[in-house]
Structure 1
């Protein structure tokens, strides 16, 4: 889910993968693999996104956070993360329509 959240942050800011890669000092292929889930999100990557988009790392970590009580907390985390991702996707689609 963290990979998808990073993709939605990029899409929300209307950036191409190439633009974001250039700004963050990554290759375009790295961004593609990251967003596709074949690359793991590292703290360094989160910090770069956090600094560039002015989003607290803690907000980005919401999507990856795990607690000791895996049964309940995993279900709760998944529920909240899913709702947040849907909201970001919705905001992204509205922004896209306003530009058209």
Structure 2
């Protein structure tokens, strides 16, 4: 659907999605929906697989809420920064507009 939308509007436009995440210590823990699918409990490999699928579908922004995680936020953020984000480099954006103050 995202690709079809891009075909209609032309140039790449941001498309984002979000998920509430409970990122567990075990990197092989399977993607498991909790709270009726409201929260995704998964290990690193499951998250990488999901983000890859989103990327292939045309998603270029993702918000991951960690409020419902069992692990401390500091651990999750560190794992995201060290093991996951390097696999999904930022896209080049347009040059900033000049600001006249």
Give the TM-score normalised by structure 2.
0.26
Larger strand share, 1 or 2: 2
Largest Rg, 1 or 2: 2
* Greater relative contact order, per chain length (Cα 8 Å cut-off, separation 6+): 1
Larger helix share, 1 or 2: 1
